[in-house]
Amino acid sequence: MTILHRMAMAASNSFLSTPLLRPSVSQFPRRLVSIRTSCDPANMKKKKMHTAASSAIATESSESATLSQDDNVKTKRTTTQNEKTDKLILPTNESSEKLLRVRHTKLYPDAKVTIGPWIENGFYYDFDVEPLTDKDLKRIKKEMDRIIARNLPLVREEVSRDEAQRRIMAINEPYKMEILENIKEDPITIYHIGNEWWDLCAGPHVESTGNINKKAVELESVAGAYWRGDEKKPMLQRIYGTAWEDEDQLKAYIHFKEEAKRRDHRRLGQDLDLFSIQEEAGGGLVFWHPKGAIVRHIIEDSWKKIHIEHGYDLLYTPHVARADLWKISGHLDFYRENMYDQMNIEDELYQLRPMNCPYHILVYKRKRNSYREFPIRVAELGTVYRYELSGSLHGLFRVRGFTQDDAHIFCLEDQIKDEIRGVLDLTEEILLQFGFSKYEVNLSTRPEKAVGGDDIWEKATSALRDALDDKGWSYELDEGGGAFYGPKIDLKIEDALGRKWQCSTIQVDFNLPQRFDITYVDSNSEKKRPIMIHRAVLGSLERFFGVLIEHYAGDFPLWLSPIQARVLPVTDTQLEYCNMVTNKLKANGIRAEVCHGERLPKLIRNGEKQRIPLMAVVGPKEVEMQTVTVRSRFGGELGTMTIDDFASRIKSATLNRTSF
């Protein structure tokens, strides 16, 4: 019963809380933050959460109980004209202690139990057991339901470290022994499910398995995972599950999951012919197809234009450099595991670049710089290469070669605030044009180990804080969460499903200026060390493109769509006129094409499937009147208009980033 009880415990502590909508055509969850708690006691003590999932290998998601009124759970019901939609404000582990307890709380007697952390939309638990299948998940879930029905109490016990070690050795759980060794606090806490099973756990849990609503729990999938993420360690079976307070919340989550699947950039990238990962070339290496490349071209052109307007100079730098450069920067000492092997060229070692920073510093060092020239702003769409395990690669979100929208600012100490504020304004300007207006902002301060004196850290941190206050953006303070070389601001964007994506980063750096010994001449003709600011707005073009695909579900706005208009002849008799229309549109800078060879209804359906914003239908009447009949993907039939009027309206909508 070990697996079942462990899963039950995990479920009891892994309640999720975030706004979701009941199935609706027009609306989807605003935010989904389902958190599955971990049964790694070290982690649990840090988060003050715990899961009861190990009780049944599957019970990890089975303890989702209903919350009481004092659990700050709100349900708001809204009614539209055509349908009633329940807008469920799903609780999170942070907002609802009972949900947390529900998510945290052996069909396979030989299974070894490891850990089960909460994740964004639920939890998972890893077991050392023979490979499991979806059929096994159903069997596990049935046993979880029985454990829930028995209403077994979950009892907390405190024991000494020696006693915990003795008990673990008695039941031969080597992974738990390793976990125990990593727990630094005493006493050790153990949770019991009735008199049948116990586990190391920091808690909390529901009072009994009966507090879990079995209809609000689901085991989702099973996958392989290395112990502690190390490919040299045993491969475990990872069971994913989700647990909620009631059945309606689970249904809303399932609806959200289906919508996320519909928007999956990997599927849409193939269906819309935007990009591919060619295994013949290697995993994690992106091929931009013509349509995807057009979107990238539009993004890059807009990015460059805005940066030039904001006083940046554009750079292009090499993809490789002598290995010594990465010794100076410190990357070979601190980042080697993410770098590719070096190349021997004419008895010198060269390295593919994992970062752009050292190159920009070399450009800065090419001449003597005066304080009068500050601030100096340089920017580059620079491709970098980082080694990732094949198992961690994921579409455009996790790749081995990608292009960063990288920029660096060299400035004086008293210019930090204004420069940071300028970066915030630029960031907002770029993100708004892609439809992202909701952000989560974090300010991370000095960690325990850091370079640079207290005075400069305080001055830089205050400058970042003042810039955020000036901007009027609310933010969370992450005390001690900064890099060792300077404080930073991180910005996450919220997409159409309410998911948050890390994109923008602004990082003050006291380290590289010292390592590369960069200086400027001050007003007294003395050499001083400048402040260096790293910043990225989109993060990487590949990842941002993936986010865009999912945000728009492949339905790019007219100005960003790879094909803005498709011209369709009723019969091939009108093909010559269609080609003339298309050429005229292209001459006006409009991305247009002709599509023919099928009956008109099928041509229209194909255009809809390909997310073409506008279709211009041409029949005998249109040829005679020198017009087109326009159909919009979202607006339906828009009537007949001249070619010049059609082109003019597309150009205006593109220029103003509006719909047709």
Q: pLDDT tens digits for 78-113? A: 334 444 344 555 655 455 555 444 444 457 888 999
Q: pLDDT tens digits for 115-164? A: 887 777 788 999 999 999 989 999 999 999 999 999 999 999 999 999 99
3-class DSSP state of 423 = helix
**Shortest CA distance to 496 belongs to which of 420, 566, 435?**
435
Q: How many CB atoms lie within 10 A of CB 453?
A: 10
Residue type, 588: N
The H helix count followed by the E strand count for the chain is 20, 32
Q: pLDDT tens digits for 416-451? A: 999 999 999 999 999 999 999 999 999 999 998 888
| Residue 191: its H or E element | strand 188-193
**What integer pLDDT is reported at residue 29 of this predicted model?**
37
Residue type, 25: V
Residue among 39, 357, 503, 595 flagged as catalytic: 357
The span from the CA of 73 to the CA of 60, in Å, is: 22
Residue among 406, 490, 495, 509 flagged as catalytic: 406
**What integer pLDDT is reported at residue 387 of this predicted model?**
93
The span from the CA of 231 to the CA of 224, in Å, is: 11
The span from the CA of 259 to the CA of 269, in Å, is: 16
Annotated active-site residue 534? The verdict is yes
Q: pLDDT tens digits for 244-255? A: 989 999 999 999
Beta bridge partners of 507: 488, 534
Residue type, 657: R
Average pLDDT, the chain: 85
The span from the CA of 157 to the CA of 370, in Å, is: 67
The span from the CA of 151 to the CA of 222, in Å, is: 27
**What does the CA dihedral 175, 181, 184, 185 come to, rounded to 10 degrees?**
70
E-assigned strand segments in 106-148 = 112-113, 118-119, 122-128
Residue among 296, 386, 465, 631 flagged as catalytic: 386
Task: Output the pTM of the full model.
Answer: 0.80
Annotated active-site residue 357? The verdict is yes
| Residue 224: its H or E element | strand 217-226
Annotated active-site residue 5? The verdict is no
Q: pLDDT tens digits for 361-415? A: 999 999 999 999 999 999 999 999 999 988 889 999 999 999 999 999 999 999 9
Per-residue confidence band for 21, with pLDDT thresholds at 50, 70 and 90: very low
How far CA 148 is from CA of 127, 143, 181, 207, 297, in Å, comes to 21, 9, 32, 12, 56
3-state helix, strand, coil in the chain (%, to 5): 35, 25, 35
Reported for 447-451, long-range contacts at CB under 8 A and 24+ positions apart, including other chains, are 447/480, 447/481, 447/482, 447/483, 447/484, 448/480, 449/484, 450/482, 450/484, 450/485, 451/484, 451/485, 451/510, 451/511, 451/514
Q: Confirm if 39 and 104 have CB atoms less than 8 A apart.
A: yes
Annotated active-site residue 166? The verdict is no
**Shortest CA distance to 647 belongs to which of 557, 556, 564?**
564
**What does the CA dihedral 296, 301, 303, 305 come to, rounded to 10 degrees?**
180
The span from the CA of 4 to the CA of 142, in Å, is: 10
Residue among 30, 87, 238, 534 flagged as catalytic: 534
**470-499 average pLDDT score:** 92
Structure tokens at 381: 């769409």
The span from the CA of 157 to the CA of 200, in Å, is: 10
| Residue 485: its H or E element | none
**57-76 average pLDDT score:** 34
Evaluated on CA atoms 633, 638, 643, 649, the torsion sign reads: negative
How far CA 7 is from CA of 45, 275, 645, in Å, comes to 19, 39, 63
Residue among 249, 351, 404, 610 flagged as catalytic: 404
The span from the CA of 135 to the CA of 137, in Å, is: 5
The span from the CA of 273 to the CA of 565, in Å, is: 17
Per-residue confidence band for 483, with pLDDT thresholds at 50, 70 and 90: confident
Residue type, 44: M
Question: pLDDT above 90 covers what percent of the chain?
Answer: 71
**Shortest CA distance to 521 belongs to which of 315, 372, 308?**
372
Residue among 36, 214, 488, 535 flagged as catalytic: 488
What is the widest separation between alpha-carbon atoms in the chain?
93
Q: How many CB atoms lie within 10 A of CB 364?
A: 20
Question: DSSP alpha helices (H): ranges in 434-560?
Answer: 454-471, 512-515, 541-552
Please report the DSSP string for 48-82 in residue order. Answer: T---EEEEESSGGGT--PPP-GGG---EEEEE-SS
**What integer pLDDT is reported at residue 456 of this predicted model?**
87
**Shortest CA distance to 205 belongs to which of 217, 196, 218, 193?**
193
**258-282 average pLDDT score:** 96
The span from the CA of 494 to the CA of 496, in Å, is: 7
**What integer pLDDT is reported at residue 293 of this predicted model?**
98
| Residue 250: its H or E element | helix 247-262
Residue type, 155: V
**What integer pLDDT is reported at residue 90 of this predicted model?**
60
Please report the DSSP string for 270-313 in residue order. Answer: HHTT-EEE-TTT-TT-EEE-HHHHHHHHHHHHHHHHHHHHTTPE
Residue among 408, 421, 446, 551 flagged as catalytic: 408
Q: pLDDT tens digits for 40-60? A: 444 443 333 333 334 444 333
